Amino acid sequence: MTSRPDLEAETTTSAVPASENVAPEELTNTRKVFVRTYGCQMNVYDSERMTDVLAPEGFQATDDMEDADLVILNTCHIREKAAEKVYSELGRIRKVKEARSKSGKEMMVGVAGCVAQAEGEEISRRAPIVDLVVGPQSYHQLPELLSKARQGSKVVETEFDIDAKFNHLSANAEKPVLKRPPSAFLTVQEGCDKFCTFCVVPYTRGAEVSRSVAQIVTEAERMASAGVREVTLLGQNVNAFHGEAQDGTTWGLGKLLRRLSEIDGLDRLRYTTSHPRDMDDDLIDAHRDLKTLMPYLHLPVQSGSDKILKSMNRRHTRDDYFRLIDRIREATPDIALSGDFIVGFPGETDQDFEDTMDLIRRVEYGSAFSFKYSQRPGTPGATMDEQVPEDLKSERLAQLQALVSEQQKAFNASRLGMTCDVLLEKKGRNPGQLVGKSPWLQPVQLDAPESLIGSVQAVEIVEIGSNSLFGRLNAGQDERDDAGAIQAKAG
């Protein structure tokens, strides 16, 4: 597997239609907004909230950039040359904006997200078509910033005002919407205090901050009432969550998950991305105790070499990770483990790489995501000695991905013949086909009526594909184990 889809994907965000948030009389002068999202699930969540913020201003989402009155690029700064990709896209947008201008139509352009935070004024200097630059903690101010931009100001807003954003999200969460997809993201924590030497997150998202328990519960209840059956809790370091409860105490992620599991209609819970140092006993016990918490855990380790882990400032050892995996599997034997791996970090020797391969063999992942190390400006790793040649990085990456692919195929094959709960999320490519999600986060394709979208159904896995499972509806069996698998009835 070459990369995590949540780090590479570029998508157009389809917002909740404006008609679901705005009274009909306010739509007479509807404007259209096009949002292109780069990067992680948190950016997807942020893009959806941007369109929520803009809906009361009369903006309706569109998938056609040429039809948009406002174009927003919600950017990611994790990967190499991320900023250059944004400038390249802005070059294409300039031509669209010029064409609209010739026909008397306005198009405003905004850059949001982590590249906006990192580049700031430089974006306005290099790309004069950009009307506003908005950091990831300031998008709740979009209506006011757009108003300033329309008056001719070049707006750059990159303050770390995360509390104000969370308070705005909380207030907005009380406004009802008519419908949401069956699966949704919910940000509970932002920022990171770990300062891994390869990572830009502490510089683009700031220090670790958690939303209050009340804010999160309100938004989750709103989602459930709008048709959401599965919520994935998001954070750059989500298991470092330390939210304040109404009684003034501080809750960890395990306790928060227990509270969310009580919400009617919310059948499934997930969370990502975690750090090994913050995987405490209460969270591990929550995996054991909560049927709503799916048996899947993304727990990046990055390297299997103690020397490289120390150089990365991960502040755990390979043995720490092994002991943690043993505790997790003791609590939840059927859990699917996922991870991240960086190959070719400065100073990585053949033995260091073999230590990583050994760790993967011992852990046996259900899936994993892997990358060649890329130098990120402003991070300590970028100036380290002993940078590894690109051809050697590529060679090591290919070996690692081949091993991970074998493990993923073996895990998928172990589901063959099993009947498990599947959340049916959308129509498939073929007529009469639906696509859903297994408890272990695998895509499942099956023939089923469209009326079942949004429901959780018992599905027998009858075939294994390269990346998906194929199943058929299995009626009449309802004796599920804690992982969501259904036990065969005797007799």
The 10s digit of each residue's pLDDT in 56-101 is 888 998 989 999 999 999 888 766 666 778 888 999 999 999 999 9
Collapsing DSSP to helix, strand or coil, 115 comes out as helix
Q: Where in the chain do CATH 3.30.750.200 domains reside? A: 295-414
The CATH number that domain 419-486 falls under is: 2.40.50.140
Superfamily grouping for domain 5-159: Methylthiotransferase, N-terminal domain (3.40.50.12160)
Alpha-carbon distance values, 372 to 88, 137, 321, 396 (Å): 23, 29, 22, 9
Q: What is the chain's mean pLDDT, rounded? A: 86
Cβ proximity of 59 and 51 under 8 Å: yes
Residue 170 confidence (pLDDT)? 55
H/E stretch holding 6: helix 5-8
Give the pLDDT of residue 290: 98
Tokens of 310: 């120390």
User: Is residue 14 a contact partner of residue 61, using CB atoms and an 8 Å limit?
Assistant: yes
Q: By CB neighbour count within 10 A (0-12 exposed, 13-18 middle, 19+ buried), where does 278 fall?
A: middle
Angle at which helices 390-413 and 350-363 cross, to 10°: 10
Task: Tell me the Ramachandran region of residue 432: left when phi exceeds 0, alpha when psi lies from -120 to 50, beta otherwise.
Answer: left
pLDDT given at position 369? 93
Residue whose tokens read 């909230």 = 49
In sequence order, the 6+-apart residues with CB closer than 8 A to the CB of 319 are none
- How much is the pLDDT for 488? 37
Residue 308 in contact with residue 270, Cβ under 8 Å?
no
Residue 373: the pLDDT is 95
- For 104-114, what is each residue's pLDDT tens digit? 898 999 998 87
Model pTM?
Answer: 0.77
Helices within 245-363 (DSSP H only): 253-260, 281-289, 306-311, 318-331, 350-363
Alpha-carbon distance of 100 to 85, in angstroms, equals 23
- For 286-338, how does the pLDDT look when each residue is reduced to its tens digit (9 = 90+)? 999 999 999 999 999 999 999 999 999 999 999 999 999 999 999 999 999 99
Where does the chain hold its CATH 2.40.50.140 domain(s)?
A: 419-486
- Residue 76 annotated in ligand binding: yes
According to CATH, what is the number of the domain 295-414? Answer: 3.30.750.200
Q: Which pLDDT score is estimated for 175?
A: 53
Domain ranges in the chain with CATH number 3.40.50.12160: 5-159
- What φ, ψ does residue 340 adopt, rounded to 5°? -115, 145
List of residues 6+ apart from 442 with CB closer than 8 A: 412, 415, 468, 469
Cα 430–Cα 467–Cα 298 angle in degrees, nearest 5: 125
- Render pLDDT for 165-189 as a digit per residue (tens, 0 to 9): 666 655 555 554 556 789 999 999 9
Is position 420 annotated in a ligand binding site? no
* Residue pointed to by tokens 């209460």: 282
Q: What pLDDT sits at residue 169? A: 59
Structure tokens belonging to residue 273 = 């991305």
Distance CA 408, CA 489 (A): 29
Could you say which of 3.30.750.210, 3.40.50.10280, 3.30.499.10, 3.40.50.300 is the CATH number of the domain covering 160-277? 3.30.750.210
**Residue positions counted in the chain:** 491
- Is residue 241 within 8 Å of residue 253, measured between CB atoms? yes
Q: Let me know: does 346 contact 311? Beta carbons within 8 Å.
A: yes
Q: Which of 113, 200, 130, 151 is nearest to 121 (CA)?
A: 130
Question: Which residue spans of the chain are classified as CATH 3.30.750.210?
Answer: 160-277
Tell me which residue of 276, 324, 320 sits closest to 301, measured CA to CA: 276
pLDDT of res. 243: 96
For every residue of 150-212, DSSP letters joined together read HTT--EEE----HHHHHHHHHHHHTS--S---SEEEEE-EE--S---TT--HHHHT-S-EE--
pLDDT for the residue 29: 58
Diameter of the chain measured on Cα atoms: 77
| pLDDT for res 55 | 86
Q: Enumerate residues 6+ apart whose C-beta is below 8 A from 403.
A: 357, 360, 361
Placement of tokens 């048996």 in the chain? 295
* 180 neighbors 17 (Cβ within 8 angstroms): no
Q: pLDDT below 70 — which residues of the chain?
A: 1-29, 78-82, 160-179, 475-491
